[in-house]
């Protein structure tokens, strides 16, 4: 699959590939299916995989948990 956006960091969690920059986060399965695509209002400093489908996003002023369904 061709990646059509710029990202600052990449992480692997279970069968997911997670790419993100300061505001946008995209997650794909290893088969190329997009599982998550979102632009956050706050800056993303770090994205930490907790489980295959659960992640912590740390920003300048907040920490949020996201879970894929």
Q: What is the pLDDT of residues 36-65, one digit of tens each?
A: 899 988 899 999 988 878 899 999 988 989
CB 55 within 8 A of CB 48: yes
What average pLDDT does the structure give for the chain? 88
Paired sense of beta strands 16-20 and 24-29, if any: antiparallel
Model confidence at 21, pLDDT cuts 50, 70, 90, reads: very high
Diameter over CA atoms, the chain: 34
Closest CA to 68 of 42, 38, 46: 38
Q: Write the CA distances from 6 to 12, 42, 62, integer angstroms.
A: 17, 18, 24
Closest CA to 13 of 30, 25, 1: 30
């Amino acid at each position: 699959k061709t990646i059509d956006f710029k990202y600052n960091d990449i992480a692997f969690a279970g069968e997911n590939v997670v790419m993100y920059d300061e505001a946008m986060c995209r997650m794909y399965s290893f088969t190329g299916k997009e599982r998550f695509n979102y632009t956050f209002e706050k800056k993303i400093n770090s994205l930490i995989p907790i489980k295959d489908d659960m992640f912590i996003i740390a920003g300048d002023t907040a920490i949020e948990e996201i879970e894929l369904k």
